Amino acid sequence: MTHVVDGNAVANRIRDDLRNCVDALEDEGVTPGLATVLMSEDAASETYVSMKQRACEDLGIEGIHRELDPDAPADELLEIVAAMNEDPDVHGVLVQMPVPDHVDRAAVLRSVDPRKDVDGFHPENVGRLVAGNPRFKPCTPHGIQKLLEAADVDTEGKHAVVVGRSDIVGKPMANLLIQKAPGGNATTTVCHSRTADLGAKTREADIVIAAAGYPELIDGSMIDEGATVIDVGVNRVDADTEKGYELVGDVEFESAKEKADVITPVPGGVGPMTIAMLLYNTVAAASNQADVPVELP
């Protein structure tokens, strides 16, 4: 029987455990604070930011949110981030991605104080991750490591194929998988839009991590019998539903499930872990900045 991993259940366990950390910080007079900035009218981005705000409120993290007109000058965004960097009640700062085309994305990532960079996207934190000394692991890849652990999938000595080379998922995921550390030690291949014969590569994988951003790119014929399939895609495709769309992953779930021993669904797989690990990083940031040690889950 294929194990369909319940990402909501794993995420809720982590969120429950984080409650003890928040209580321990509160006992020392520290309320973790997360500041989010949204410079987009994209409906999915708006959904993700409100999910982040609700999750903060639920855990007792102080949420501060700013929205900017997508046509505003880039400097306005940088000024908001600079103010958040200076605010002692703010322990984590994140700019929801993507930002509009006229905004220099790299400059935005550099503008966040690396100690408050709970996304782990600042070049200093990317460097630390690559060097094997992460300050903040990016939320989605970290969440995937936690999902694999919860599903008893050991990465050591396995062949992992990451499909996608984004800065948010593909690159950090591959870097975590090759670390000499728990959740790492995997032989790792990274595939992308220029990869020839993708199916030949994914069929060689013990673990496929699909993060390409193309609906149902990977079907059962591209999966080896008994593999683990982690689907990162959250694609809105037109459908005759109340919302006018449905969510599908980068994996064609039904045919892949026929082959896989372990698979994550969309929705309810990786997505909830992204939010849980953002809360984790925010609690870690508060603990570091206030110099109050907590036992993270």
Ligand X SMILES: Nc1nc2c(c(=O)[nH]1)N[C@@H](CN(C=O)c1ccc(C(=O)N[C@@H](CCC(=O)O)C(=O)O)cc1)CN2
Query: Does 97 engage in binding with ligand X (CB under 6 A)?
Result: yes
Peptide bond into 297 cis (omega under 30): no
* 30 DSSP assignment: -
Tokens describing residue 93? 């700062």
Judge contact between 22 and 32, C-beta under 8 A: yes
Residue 69 tokens read as: 């007109």
Q: Is 234 in the site for ligand X (CB under 6 A)?
A: yes
User: DSSP labels for 216-256?
Assistant: T-B-GGGS-TT-EEEE---EEEE-SSTTSEEEE-SB-HHHH
- Residue 168 near ligand X by CB under 6 A: yes
> Which of 39, 129, 266, 286 forms a contact with ligand X (CB under 6 A)?
266
Report helix, strand or coil for 277. Answer: helix
What CA–CA distance (Å, rounded) separates 51 from 101? 24
Contact between 77 and ligand X per CB under 6 A: no
Q: Is 203 flagged in the annotation as binding? A: no
* 164 is annotated as contributing to ligand binding: yes
Q: Is residue 268 part of the contact set for ligand X (CB under 6 A)? A: yes
- Closer residue to ligand X in complex, CB, 26/41: 41
Question: Strand locations in 141-285, DSSP E?
Answer: 159-163, 187-191, 207-210, 228-231, 235-238, 245-248, 262-263
50 is an annotated ligand-binding site residue: no
220 binds ligand X, rule: CB under 6 A: no
Catalytic residue among 52, 116, 137, 201: 52
Residue 261 bears catalytic tag? no
Choose, by CB under 6 A, the member of 40, 125, 140, 179 that binds ligand X. 140
108 is in an annotated binding site: no
Q: Which stretch binds ligand X (CB under 6 A): 26-34, 207-215, 216-224, 267-275?
A: 267-275
Distance, in Å, from the CA atom of 251 to the CA atom of 210, rounded to the nearest integer, reads 7
The site map against ligand X for 29-68 (x = CB under 6 A) is ------------------xx--x-----------------
Reply yes or no on whether 96 is catalytic. yes
Tokens at residue 26, please?
Answer: 């509160």
Q: Give the active site residue among 113, 117, 119, 206.
A: 119
Q: Report which secondary-structure segment, H or E, holds 34.
A: strand 33-38
| Chain residues in the site for ligand X (CB under 6 A) | 47-48, 51, 94-97, 119, 139-140, 168, 234, 247, 266-268, 271-272, 274-275
**Active-site amino acid positions:** 52, 96, 119
